[in-house]
Amino acid sequence: MRKRPLILSRFSFRQLLLAAFLLIAVLLSGTSVHALLTLEHLAAHSRESAHEAVTLTENAQRLAERTLAMERSARQFLVLDDPAFRQRFAEAWQDARDALSALAIALPDAPREEFAEWNRESEAAWAVLEAPKSRRRSGQQDLDHAFARLPAINEQLALESKRDTERRNNALVAELERQRNMLMVLIAGALVLAALLAFGFGVWLTRPLRRIEAAIGQLGENHFDQPIEVDGPADLRRLGEQLDWLRQRLGDLENDKARFLRHVSHELKTPLAALCEGVALLQEEVAGELSEQQHVIARILQQNTAALQTQIEDLLRYNAATFDAQHLKRRPLEVRALLEQVIESQRLQWQARGLRVEVGGPAGRVGADADKLAIVLGNLLSNAVRFSPDGGVIRFIVGEEHGRVQIDCVDEGPGIAPADMARVFEPFYQGERQPPGARRGSGIGLSIVREYVEAHGGTVQLLPHVGGAHFRIELANEI
């Protein structure tokens, strides 16, 4: 017995199909949400970097402007000796130091010596402004030196701000590229995983459907000997169990039908034999001389009793064929030689119609039951004789291809109607194209052909053909 999944088998086909769709949808939705969050994060990072770059630029510009204001106020104070200009210097100096502190925080990688030097030079300038008036002239050189160095330091800090902005932009671009590559990998992985999940679920869920389809075809072809087992979801397994129950019921009905036909056929043989004997006695005028009309009635009775006897014997042969197909006595034989024997045994039938039977091809050695194969070939020949027009040709062609022996039977009769092609091998089925004036057959000859051929592991099929019927039998070569 095959092992069934313990968890998945508890659910129905519809539930598992819905779960598969939900799982794939969650996978793709999760990837989409992750992509949106990543884009939002990058957008926030970009806004933050832009804000920091603007702040750096503003602080660098403010530092340069306040330094220029400091220099202007300091020189005005030295010329005019007005405390208001020194106060303006102090205010501009405080504003410049605030900008410098902000730059120091925003530029952690910038050299600390530049900030320290800016503070030293600005303090030296302030010291000159706070010195007594008598000493201010001597501090003029220190003031000139300070305001010569401060713009250079400002330019260096502005350059550092620009470099830091570029580093931030490069880092943002690198992060954007990294996230883009990661998103591509995630999306590709999600699509591949979704495809694998869809394929896996599809294969797992459609396999029991194919098994059910094959089981229905098996029942339609009257093969009731193989159990039907369907794995997969719970509802499909229950359907498989119901099909197996139906198989057993149909098998029982088929056996009952076969027994009924066998019993009825045997029960009819005894009274039919008595009826045939009575008709024969009437025709021989054992009970007295018959008139012309009575002879006509006796002939009608004889014909109908003979037809009824033939049909009963056909029923018995079909039941016997179904049983005998399971008990073959295989031996090596040549198909062509056996075919010639069968044709010779029916010479009177086909010669009476003015027919010609031709045989072609190699010997065709197979391992088969000679008696059963002779019945197969005989039924094909008698079927071709029955449907062939007077003076027609029946061809048997033996061939070998891909390790199998082919036996083709081609006649020049009306052929098989398209509506009958699918059912021509069914027992008791008679097609619509019957030979004119002939008594309708029992419809079991070709079904016996199929029974015996399939019992040999071969196949029999009706091939398309213009102007007649073309049957082909394939058997394995003798091993």
Q: 221 burial class (0-12, 13-18, 19+ CB within 10 angstroms)?
A: exposed
Mean pLDDT of the chain: 79
Residue 417 in this model has a pLDDT that exceeds 90: no
Residue 217 in this model has a pLDDT that exceeds 60: yes
Going 368 to 370 to 371 to 373, the CA torsion angle's sign is positive
pLDDT, tens digit (0-9, with 9 covering 90-100), for 308-319: 766 666 666 666
- Predicted pLDDT of residue 408: 93
Q: Token pair of 308, please?
A: 């009824």
Q: Token pair of 168, please?
A: 């931030």
Share of the chain above pLDDT 90, in %: 7
Three-state SS at 148 = helix
pTM over cut 0.85? no
**Angle at which helices 13-80 and 140-220 pack, to 10 degrees?**
170
HEC assignment per residue over 443-456: CCHHHHHHHHHHHC
**Angle at which helices 140-220 and 112-130 pack, to 10 degrees?**
150
What does the pLDDT average to over 148-162? 85
Q: In degrees to the nearest 10, what's the CA dihedral of 223, 229, 230, 233? A: 150
Residue 58 in this model has a pLDDT that exceeds 70: yes
Helical segments of 221-324, H only: 234-283, 292-324
pLDDT, tens digit (0-9, with 9 covering 90-100), for 162-175: 888 888 888 878 88
Strand-pair partners of 149? none
What does the pLDDT average to over 390-413? 89
DSSP-based helix, strand, coil % in the chain, nearest 5:
70, 10, 20
**Spatial distance between the Cα atoms of 222 and 426, rounded to a whole number of angstroms:** 10
- Side-chain-facing half-sphere of 156: CA atoms under 13 Å: 14
- Predicted pLDDT of residue 12: 66
Min mean pLDDT across 188-202, 359-373, 398-412 is at 188-202
- Side-chain-facing half-sphere of 395: CA atoms under 13 Å: 11
- The domains of the chain, with CATH numbers, are 10-201 (1.20.120.1730), 235-322 (1.10.287), 326-476 (3.30.565.10)
What does the pLDDT average to over 137-154? 78
Closest CA to 411 of 352, 361, 354, 470: 470
- Predicted pLDDT of residue 405: 92
pLDDT, tens digit (0-9, with 9 covering 90-100), for 418-457: 777 777 777 766 655 565 544 555 567 788 888 888 888 8
- Predicted pLDDT of residue 4: 47
